[in-house]
Structure 1
Amino acid sequence: MSADTDRHAMKMAKKKAARDKIMASKEGEKGLVIVHTGPGKGKSSSGFGMILRCIAHEMPCAVVQFIKGAWQTGERTLIEANFSELCQFYAMGEGFTWETQDKTRDIAAAQKGWEKAKELIRDPEIKMVLLDEINIALRYDYLDINDVVSFLRDEKPEMTHVVLTGRNAKEELIELADLVTEMTLVKHPFRSGIKGQKGVEF
C-alpha cells in the first residue's frame, strides 16, 4: 500500500474508534418531538420520509394534514391506496388561508385537526404521528401554542414520536422539541417562474 493509503486507513481507524466510543454511550430510547421548520423546501417531505420508514418497519403510524387537505397529494394517494392498515391519514385542512379567505372556517378546520391529532397521539398502538403544516395553524393562532405544548409535554405517551412541520415554528415548540431542523432556502424554481410540479411539490 502507498503512504497515502496507509495514512487514510489510519485516519479512518481513529474515526471509527471515536465513533464506536460515542455510540457505546447511547443506549436510551424515547418518543421524540421532532420539528421541521424554516423557509426552505423539504419539511413535509422529510416528515413523510419518516412515515414511510415506520411503514417499512410495520410500525402503526398516522398523518394529520392541517393545510393541504384540499389537495390530492402523491403521498396521500400512495398511503391510502397501499398502506391504510398501517397508516391512518386525515386531511383536515381546506387549503392555505389566502385560498379559503375565511378565518372562522380555517380556525374550525384547525381545531378539528388538533382534536383528531390528540386522539391519535393518545393511542399507544400508534408509534408516530405526523402533524403536517401544523406550524402554519399555530403561526396564525388558529391553535393555542400553550395547549399544543402542554399536551405534548404532559399527555404524549413515552414512546410515541410526533413530527410537526411548517415554517415559522413557535419558540415554545422549539424549546420543547427533542429534534429541530431548519430548512434553509438557497434557491427555488418558483422564483424563476416554475410552478409546483407533481413528484416535487405534491
Structure 2
Amino acid sequence: MQIETPPTVKPYEKPEGERRGLILVNTGEGKGKSTAAFGLALRAHGRGKPVRIYQFMKVPTARFGEHRMFEQLGLPIIGLGDGFSWKSQDLEQSGQLARDGWQQARAAILSGEFFLVVLDEITYPLIYGWLALDEVLQTLRDRPKHVHVMLTGRRCPAEIVEMADTVTEMTKIKHAFNAGIPAQRGIED
C-alpha cells in the first residue's frame, strides 16, 4: 500500500448545471448492485422523499433481510417475479409476471409521485426478452423531470448505459462462493 497525502484543496469545481432526476445504473458481475441501490433508497427515504422499490426477480412473499427492514421503515419492497429462471416452473409465466410488473413500475415512474423508483434486477427480464427494451427506454425518456430511476442487474443493455447519467460497474475480484462458502444470511440475502 502506498501512503498518500490527504488533499488540502477541493479537487473539483461545484457544478453549475440544473438539478433534475437522474438515471442511475448498477451493473457488472460483482456483488453489491442491489445493496447499493437499497442504500440510495434509504438515503432518499431518510430525507423524507417518496420512494418505490420493485424487484423483478423476487417473489412477492420474499422475506430477505432487506424486505424485513424496509417494511419496518414503512417502505415495502414490491416483488414482481417468481424467482430466478432456474427455479421457475414456467418460464412463460415468469415473462408474464415481468410484463405485468413492468406496467406497475412504469406507472409509478410516470406518475411523478415518487422522487426515486428502484428497478432492482430489471436487466434480467430485458436480456431474456420478457420486456421490450424500447418501452423501458421510452418510459425513462418520458418520466417527469424530477423523478430519479435506479436500475440494477448484470449485463445492462448498452442503450440504457448510454442514456444513463451515472453508471457503476461492480467488478468481481474475489467472491467467497467461488471458494465453496455458501451464501450467508444477512450478507447475501
TM-score, length-scaled by structure 1? 0.86
- Name the SS for the 1:199 alignment partner: coil
Q: Aligned partners of 1:105, 1:200: CA distance in 2, in Å?
A: 30
Identity between Structure 1 and Structure 2 (%): 38
What CA deviation, in whole Å up to 9, does each residue of 1:127-182 have, x standing for no partner? 001001000111111101111011111x2110111000000000111111111110
- Name the SS for the 1:180 alignment partner: strand
- Matched with 2:101 is 113
Are 1:28 and 2:18 counterparts? yes
Which one-letter code corresponds to 1:116 in the other structure?
Answer: Q
- Matched with 1:173 is 160
* C-alpha displacement of 1:193: 1.1
- Alignment check: 8 A CA contact 1:71 1:95 kept: no
- Matched with 2:36 is 46
User: Which of 48, 59, 67 lines up with 1:76 in the alignment?
Assistant: 67
Which one-letter code corresponds to 2:28 in the other structure?
Answer: G
Q: Aligned partners of 1:79, 1:123: CA distance in 2, in Å?
A: 22
Are 1:89 and 2:73 counterparts? no
Higher helix share: 1
Q: Aligned partners of 1:172, 1:188: CA distance in 2, in Å?
A: 29
- Alignment check: 8 A CA contact 2:20 2:145 kept: yes
In terms of Rg, which structure is larger? 1
* C-alpha displacement of 1:27: 4.3
Q: Aligned partners of 1:101, 1:125: CA distance in 2, in Å?
A: 35
Task: Could you tell me which runs of 5 or more consecutive residues in structure 1 were left unpaired when the two chains were aligned.
Answer: 1-7
Q: Aligned partners of 1:106, 1:114: CA distance in 2, in Å?
A: 12
The number of aligned residues is 184
Are 1:200 and 2:183 counterparts? no
- Matched with 1:186 is 173
TM-score, length-scaled by structure 2? 0.91
Are 1:164 and 2:155 counterparts? no
